[in-house]
Chains A and B, each alone.
Chain A
């Protein structure tokens, strides 16, 4: 996974509560058993004029030229709720998004961001609203910066907001770590846990079916 430390870019406000993963990538846009080829389907239901079509809906924020090159999204509460599909995060990443700022995230979506190099930033709704006002004045001229190491979001207009992130997800993002590789270093701890657990809870282990 690629490392991510700071993201500076145009930020697009999409401040609606409960933006679900089916809105981010509709089920019908997940066309193969693959993590790629999803950017085209990102927000398809809102971004295009017709279901399954590709004619841009000019009213949708990502279709406005001022927001081209966007890498930061400003969202509403409970962002990424609904289906656990990681395709939502793969689609955002493929489209270029590297940070999503929202008051709260669905826990599964939050974890999926961390595992794919997108910084999930929790800020209070009024702070996000302040940033949105600033951004909308001049999207290209008013970029935001998400600094993961400093745990701060700043603008050129003097805004600065701190955010909380747990040590484990922060380090995974900063170092671009693969969780499986990290965990496999603990192989002996896992083996001894399993040996002891097998004695304590033999019923939880199953025999392979012949």
Chain B
């Protein structure tokens, strides 16, 4: 019988069926970080249990660690040091690979996992972090869990999982210059709602997805959690294999050939059926930007803040979002003054993101009064960017150039943007107070962030691209 990509991976991992719709599912990779993984490791140890297969468990310091140059165990977050020290001790005791504060491979979990070949096609990957869905772009079944579930996966090598329904989202057509994977995901969520994917494992497919490079696919899958889906995934193809070949934890030699032969079978069969299908034509899409406090509150950058009726949201939430953002229906987004610009996070901090932003920034300056920050997603990305001279471009333009980590993607009590400060950000969440108490976040692609930083207000990147080939699709 014709099967979907999801069904194939699911079936290959069912250890045993459980009551109802649930199954005991084998887990191939567990990733932890110091914010939520620390408590899982600690609690596991307190219960007198150990990690079943430490070689397949990884841990990084990304959430609490500072991104300021010269960082160590001390962080701006009050009490942050304890998380770092305790995570290190617990990781050491558990015998798992830790990407520590000063490790040359340290970085944001969802950036370093593909970069090091830890996530592989057909693998089940879990992490107590909601953006684990990012890694589904490699053809894996990757999803975020809680800390208790992480303990379960660590101790047993399995999870008890309710089988989700399946959805396919097909993006068909060709993206115009300046329109990126970030805009695809914002378009989907704005049209179908922040709960639109609830209960589903989503496969992204179609000509526009096939055309995306691997790093852009990671951006697309990153925000499946903002769609409330269990995960997003993309069938692995030649690009995926080429990306992975030779990476540190990827299979080698005869193992590589055998793995690729298996991975080639991981596609949705002709005629396989999904519980739900969505089609999005992409030719006419413009760069997107958010106006409110949910990723669902996104429109084309040339549009105005929608009316209640056009917003597709409930009256109470709509009014609250506008009040929080200091906006009114009908207001133009283009031209809204920004106080800060942020390029980073597991959504958009890979080398291709930095290259595209740098192409916009080259020979230009950030507008006076705008605080601009670039935080590479991993130390590997940072070194690569420096080898290409991109750090000079960012610095010359007036950006801060940081060490890798989650940084100001979220406010953890230390560093933040200002109250009611308007920020244009390449991150994934524009929730109330996400980047600082009362901070007003507008999310967009890295190139839109770069263009807005230069203009000093929300700006359309497309005029800046005229004549130059964007060349990233």
Contacts and interface: CB of A to CB of B under 8 A. Distances in A.
A115 B313 CA distance: 31
Contact of A77 (B39, B55, B195, B229): B195
B80 to A, nearest CB: 10
A22 B293 CA distance: 13
Contacts, number: 204
Contacts of B434: 22
Helix, strand, loop or mixed for chain B's interface?
Answer: loop
A124 to B, nearest CB: 13
Contacts of B155: 180, 184
B437 A51 contact: yes
Contacts of A115: 146, 148-149
Interface stretch (B214-222, B346-354, B408-416, B463-471): B408-416
Interface string A167-210: 11101000000011011101001100110010011111111110
Interface in A149-167: 166-167
Given A77-B195, A111-B149, A203-B255, A33 B55 contact: no
B411 A31 contact: no
A200 B259 CA distance: 10
Nearest to B20: A167
A32 interface: yes
A129 to B, nearest CB: 11
Nearest to B438: A51
Interface string B329-353: 0000000000000000000000000
B259 A166 contact: no
A45 B56 contact: no
A51 B412 CA distance: 12
A139 interface: no
Contact of A27 (B15, B251, B255, B413): B413
A54 interface: no
Interface of B: 12, 15-16, 18-22, 24, 26, 28, 35-36, 38-39, 42-43, 47, 49, 53-56, 77-79, 82-83, 86-87, 95, 97, 120, 122-123, 128-130, 144-149, 151-152, 155-158, 160, 162, 164, 194-195, 198-199, 225-226, 228-230, 249, 251, 255-256, 258-259, 262, 293-294, 296, 313-314, 316-317, 320, 410-413, 429, 431-434, 437
Interface of A: 15-18, 20, 22-23, 26-28, 30-35, 45, 51, 76-78, 81-86, 89, 103-108, 111-112, 115-116, 166-169, 171, 179-180, 182-184, 186, 189-190, 193-194, 197, 200-209
